[in-house]
Amino acid sequence: MLVAFASNSILCRLALREGQIDPASFSTIRLVSGAIALWLLFSLRSKSKGAGNAISGFMLALYAIAFSFAYVSLDTGVGALILFGTVQATMIAVGIVRGQRPGIREWMGLVMALGGLTYLVSPGLTAPNPIGAALMAVAGIAWGVYSLRGRGSSNPSLATAENFYWSAPFAIAVSAIMFSRIEMTSMGVVYALISGIVTSGLGYVLWYMVQPSLTAIRAAIVQLAVPILTAFGGAFVLSEHITSRLVIASIATLGGVSLAVLTRR
């Protein structure tokens, strides 16, 4: 599941970095292909309804579109850090407002995980493109809200499928507005299809399934592992180097996540 989240960043960055596809088309193909795949897998075989709705669909579309446009100007690791840092802040804030109170070990895990991420990106980190950073922050807020809205779903598969249906018209509308800037190659379409059908469609179904077993705060902390996975994936796919700093940061981040998630009440 977390690997699927990290793969989305790598696929998007790979497609956009090499000019294989424009961000609007990537988002549209990603969401439409995910909607079709989930309809074939779940909705076609079921007569019941899930908990999907227009609001969740809009949040999913907002996340995907802002995510794609942000990666035009952001590096993979920096983008993932901004995205899931914002996700974490959104979900923790909502959890606290709803009365959830993290324990001391959860706070320790959170600090440890954030420390690992900070250590990873601090050397040589320059200020990111402000527009790209703002777009990725918007994507993080949208994903945080989307995640929280799926916590009470009794049928995660159908709920995710319905949310993808609702998200598709929003993405298509953005592509229509950006029609004059559309550009794509066969490989760009392949990257978008993999992102839509596999790492988004099926990955998000799994995410909706496991969320009920996590508090909003723990669900936020778990996702802090994604930037580390993204960095390792980038090392293999994008030919980036695995350094001792990356290894140390990974141990700190994943250790913090484990400390927070395995805490017993």
24-49 pLDDT, tens per residue?
A: 999 999 999 999 988 888 766 666 66
Q: Is residue 230 part of a domain?
A: no
263 part of a folded domain: no
Among candidate residues 89, 218, 69, the one with its CA nearest the CA of residue 143? 89
Q: Is the pLDDT of residue 265 over 50?
A: no
Query: How many domains, the chain?
Result: 1
With contact defined as beta carbons under 8 Å apart, do 167 and 117 qualify? no
Q: What is the mean pLDDT of residues 164-192?
A: 93
Q: Which amino acid is at 157?
A: S
Quick check: is 8 in a domain?
A: yes
**pTM for this entry:** 0.81
- Residue range of the domain that includes 17: 2-100+128-223
In whole angstroms, what is the distance from residue 233 CA to residue 4 CA?
11
Distances from the Cα of 115 to the Cα of 111, 204, 220, 258, angstroms: 6, 27, 16, 14
d(CA 149, CA 53): 10
Give the largest CA-CA distance in the chain.
Answer: 55
Domain for residue 253, yes or no? no
Q: Is the pLDDT of residue 50 over 80?
A: no
Determine how many CB atoms are found less than 10 A away from the CB of residue 116: 23
Mean pLDDT (the chain) is: 81
Determine the pLDDT at residue 28.
97
The string of pLDDT tens digits covering residues 67-123 is 999 999 887 777 887 887 788 778 777 777 777 777 787 778 778 877 876 776 665
Instruction: Give domain status of residue 36, yes or no.
Output: yes
Residue 93 lies in a domain: yes
Residue 146 covered by a domain: yes
Q: How confident is the model at residue 1 (pLDDT cuts 50, 70, 90)?
A: low
What whole-number percentage of the chain has pLDDT above 90? 29
- Phi, psi for 53 (deg, rounded to 5): -155, 175
254 within some domain:
no
Q: Phi, psi (5° rounding) for residue 184?
A: -160, 150
